[in-house]
Amino acid sequence: MDLFTIITVLVFLSALFGYINVRFLKLPNTIGLMVITIFFTLGVFALSYIDPTLLNAERYILSQIDFKTVLLDIMLSFLLFAGALHTDFEQLKKHRWPIISFATLGVLTSTFLVGTLMYYGLPVVGLEVPFIQCLLFGALISPTDPIAVLGILKTAGVPKRLETKIVGESLFNDGVGVVVFLTIYKIASPSATGVTALDVAQLFGVEVFGGILLGFILGWVTYRLMRQIDDYDIEVIITLATVMTGTVIAHYFHVSAPLAMVVAGLFIGNDKMRDSAMSENTVIYVDKFWEFIDILLNTLLFVLLGMEILVLTFDINFILAGILTIPIVLLCRYLSLLLPISFFKNKLDFVPRTNLIMTWGGLRGAISIALALGLTEAMNRDLFLVITYVVVVFSIIAQGLTVGNLVKKVAEPKITE
């Protein structure tokens, strides 16, 4: 199959599974698509004992798609820009300090806690893993996934001021999480004998601050271009060029493309910038275009995520390790939020039980899978991929389906904003 045929098959499956979900299951799209795809793949597995044609076709499609590259180097930029473009900038600005602390201190704390508990917990199921590799897993599983979070919170009924914190954190902490992962990956690599603290600081600083700076430059240039014309067709194309060109530039200079896209999206989506750079017609077309891109890529992504079950190594100890990891990740998430929430709750209006809701609403998703796929065999890739998949499936299905009910039970009923 050529590339066009593979994309056609994926779009067809996305449309079919999306129809089945909307028509019969009526689950949130992200959850429904993943559930249907997993059951479809398991059905293909069962059918393969009679006729392996479908299983071979599905495996061939996956073999032609580098999930890590497709998600982290291409799709993530579009999805983060679309998410940031539609985020309430004023609310984000108001809650910027807790969001920054969640996305930095929270991710670093969670990485260390998860790594430590995994190091002492894995021997329970007969697995011995070096501490640095456990830290590497902590880095890939700690960031919440903005793709899953944005998709599910829309239907969860989360109060607006809490939604801002969860969405804002997820937009930034995946960029920070990827940088933390790359930093630890460099240390954990067998060839990393000469890595110093200065090397780590430089890598972290260039990726994070370079990405943020690039995002501001992209946002400002895009704003200036759109302000000087009034043609919604061309202005939509300009925003598309911003994301594509910005991603290429970020990769060339080795800065964080996710952070650059978040900053650029927030800059352009800011109400003040919109009012001075776009006509009402342009705002409508830009928003609708990026909503469509968001929905299309999300649909394709969660179908691919369900199909990734084919790359797993089915070892009972690996699956038990994954089940053991679920409470570890949730506990570490809860503990990593304690300090920032305690510090800011008296200064800002926090919803009751914010920590509990943010712990359960902090979903893991495709980004963690993509990072796990990037591990080498020497880093226990097969083990950590299975563990990550178990945590992600639980997160999206179990947490995603129940976060709305949790909000209704623990938050004050009178809160609507």
3-state DSSP of 49-71: CCCCHHHHHHHHHHHCCCHHHHH
Confidence class for position 415, pLDDT limits 50, 70, 90:
very low
The DSSP code for 398 is I
Q: Which CA distances in Å does 305 have to 23, 38, 41, 150, 392? A: 22, 9, 11, 17, 10
**pLDDT at 417 (0 to 100):** 43
pLDDT band at 62 (very low <50, low <70, confident <90, very high): very high
The confidence score (pLDDT) of residue 199 equals 76
Per-residue pLDDT reduced to its tens digit, 93-141? 888 899 999 999 999 999 999 999 999 999 999 999 999 999 999 999 9
pLDDT band at 28 (very low <50, low <70, confident <90, very high): confident
Instruction: Give 416's pLDDT tier (boundaries 50, 70, 90).
Output: very low
Separation in Å, CA 182 to CA 2, 138, 175, 276, 341 = 32, 12, 11, 39, 27
Determine the Cα–Cα distance for residues 151 and 155; give it in Å rounded to an integer.
8
**Predicted pLDDT at 154:** 67
Please count the other Cβ atoms lying within 10 Å of the Cβ belonging to residue 40.
19
- Mean residue pLDDT across the chain: 91
Sign of CA dihedral 16, 17, 18, 22: positive
Model pTM score: 0.92
